[in-house]
Amino acid sequence: MDALVLHGGAGHKSELRDVMQKYAEEAFKNDALESVIQAVVFMEDNPLFNAGTGSNMRMDGSIQMDAAVMVPGDFGAVINIENVKNPVLVARDVMHHSPHLILAGDGAVKFARKMGYPEYNPATEKARERRDKVIQELRNGKIPSYYHPDFLMEFLGDTVGAVARIDEKFAAAVSTGGTSLTLRGRVGDSPIIGAGIYCGENGAVVATGIGEEIIRHMLSLAIYNRIGTAPLEEICREEIEKFGDVPVGVIAVSIEEECAVSNRNMPYAILRMEERNR
Instruction: Burial-class residue 115 by CB neighbours within 10 Å (0-12, 13-18, 19+).
Output: middle
In the complex, the smallest distance separating the C-beta of residue 187 from ligand ASP, rounded to whole angstroms, is 8
Taking CB under 6 A as the criterion, the residue among 54, 87, 194, 209 binding ligand ASP is 209
x/- map, 163-182, ligand ASP, by CB under 6 A: -------------x-x----
Contact set for ligand ASP, span 25-84 (CB under 6 A): none
* Active-site residue flag, 208: no
Pairing of strands 102-104, 74-81: parallel
CB 36 within 8 A of CB 69: yes
User: Residues 8-20, buried b or exposed e (16+ Cβ, 10 A)?
Assistant: bbbbbeeebeebb
Provide the 3-class DSSP secondary structure of residue 9: coil
Which DSSP helix (H) or strand (E) runs through 232? helix 232-241
- Strand extents, DSSP E, the chain: 2-7, 65-71, 74-81, 102-104, 160-166, 169-176, 197-200, 203-209, 248-254, 258-262, 268-273
Please report whether residue 211 would count as binding ligand ASP according to CB under 6 A: yes
Q: Stretches 92-100, 109-117, 139-147, 151-159: which one binds ligand ASP (CB under 6 A)?
A: 151-159
Please report whether residue 190 would count as binding ligand ASP according to CB under 6 A: yes
Whose Cβ is closer to ligand ASP: residue 54's or residue 178's? 178
Whose Cβ is closer to ligand ASP: residue 105's or residue 202's? 105
Question: What's the distance, Cα to Cα, between the start and end of the chain in Å?
Answer: 11
Taking CB under 6 A as the criterion, the residue among 55, 86, 208, 262 binding ligand ASP is 208
Q: Pick the catalytic residue from 159, 176, 179, 182.
A: 159
Distance in angstroms (rounded) separating the CA atoms of residues 7 and 20 = 8
Taking CB under 6 A as the criterion, the residue among 2, 82, 154, 189 binding ligand ASP is 189
Distance in angstroms (rounded) separating the CA atoms of residues 18 and 15 = 7
Please report whether residue 9 would count as binding ligand ASP according to CB under 6 A: yes
Distance in angstroms (rounded) separating the CA atoms of residues 198 and 195 = 7
Report CA Rg, the chain. 17
In the complex, the smallest distance separating the C-beta of residue 182 from ligand ASP, rounded to whole angstroms, is 8
Whose Cβ is closer to ligand ASP: residue 54's or residue 196's? 196
Please report whether residue 157 would count as binding ligand ASP according to CB under 6 A: yes
Q: Stretches 80-88, 142-150, 207-215, 267-275: which one binds ligand ASP (CB under 6 A)?
A: 207-215
Catalytic residues: 159
What is the contact surface with ligand ASP in residues (CB under 6 A)?
Answer: 9-10, 156-157, 159, 176, 178, 188-190, 196, 208-209, 211
